[in-house]
């Protein structure tokens, strides 16, 4: 079995085992901006719902508790983010999931713009950022396959396509501000859910293939949750 095939098989197996909105009734609830969010119930679990899109921020995502919600466009609530944090001995794991829209928004353009912003960070700081094309392509394919499979399962009589882009990076962060040097695995993805963009940014400690699988699994959990919720 090739590396890509093994990676894809392991990822899909783990991803389908993850619930779309994991139960986290014991997690503390951040105070959401009522202009954009409301606290509600989905399948018996408490969640923070985005009013404008129908998107959902579960109280837990792949073992990371919901830490913050952000209304990034207070004028109309059409640009929001949900942040998940888990601090452990090896460092901080963070998932930030964005849901937003504007006239003319398109997934590939949003993806390329976000990649450009990451390149600027690498060029203008001491952080060395290396894109991992093999891992990124494998993750992108696995997420797309999982989304199509879920859509076909819901409606087998209709053709299904996915406008989704993802890549993975390796960060080498030097010692600074009293913190030791460290390595991180990072993921960027953008998924088009009708008129809404679903963007995912993830950073976790480590830089192994297993870490690449972890960030891809987390991304799929966030994306699938929004694919199921937006437009319902």
Beta-carbon count within 10 A of 63 CB: 14
Token pair in block for residue 178:
């009293």
5, 85, 172 from 199: Cα distances, Å: 26, 17, 23
Confidence at 28, pLDDT banded by 50, 70, 90: low
Give percent helix, percent strand, percent coil of the chain, each to the nearest 5.
35, 35, 30
Confidence at 117, pLDDT banded by 50, 70, 90: very high
List, in sequence order, every beta strand (DSSP E) within 116-229: 128-131, 164-173, 182-193, 196-205
> The pTM is what?
0.86
Closest alpha carbon to 21 in 57, 55, 54, 49: 57
Tell me how far apart the alpha carbons of residues 157 and 155 are, in angstroms, rounded to a whole number: 6
Strand order in the sheet with 56-58: 37-42, 45-50, 56-58
User: What's residue 14's pLDDT?
Assistant: 44
Q: pLDDT digits over 50-62, tens only? A: 999 999 999 999 9
Closest alpha carbon to 49 in 194, 231, 229: 229
The single-letter DSSP state of residue 102 is: -
Average pLDDT of the segment spanning 92-111: 96
Closest alpha carbon to 171 in 138, 131, 143, 134: 131
Q: pLDDT digits over 127-162, tens only? A: 999 999 999 999 999 999 988 888 777 777 776 678
Does residue 164 register a pLDDT over 80?
yes
Q: Mean pLDDT in the chain?
A: 87
């Amino acid at each position: 079995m090739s590396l890509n095939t093994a990676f894809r098989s392991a990822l899909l197996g783990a991803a389908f085992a993850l619930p779309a909105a994991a139960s986290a009734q014991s997690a503390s609830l951040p105070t959401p901006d009522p202009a954009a969010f409301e606290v509600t119930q989905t399948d018996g679990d408490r969640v923070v719902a985005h009013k404008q899109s129908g998107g959902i921020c579960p109280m837990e995502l792949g073992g990371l508790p919901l830490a913050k919600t952000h209304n990034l466009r207070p004028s109309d609530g059409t640009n929001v983010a949900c942040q998940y944090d888990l601090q452990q001995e090896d460092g901080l794991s963070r998932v930030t999931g964005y849901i937003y829209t504007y006239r003319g928004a398109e997934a590939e353009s949003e993806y390329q713009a976000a990649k450009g912003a990451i390149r600027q960070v690498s060029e203008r700081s001491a952080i060395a950022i290396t894109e991992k094309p093999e891992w990124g392509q494998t993750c992108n394919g696995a997420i797309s396959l999982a989304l199509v499979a879920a859509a076909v399962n819901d409606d087998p009589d209709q053709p299904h396509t996915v406008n989704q882009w993802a890549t993975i990076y390796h960060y080498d962060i030097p010692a600074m501000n009293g913190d030791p040097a460290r390595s991180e695995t990072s993921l960027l993805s953008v998924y088009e859910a009708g008129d809404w963009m679903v963007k995912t940014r993830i950073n976790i400690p480590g830089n192994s293939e297993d870490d690449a699988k972890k960030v891809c699994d987390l991304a799929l959990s966030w994306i699938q949750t929004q694919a199921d919720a937006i437009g319902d």
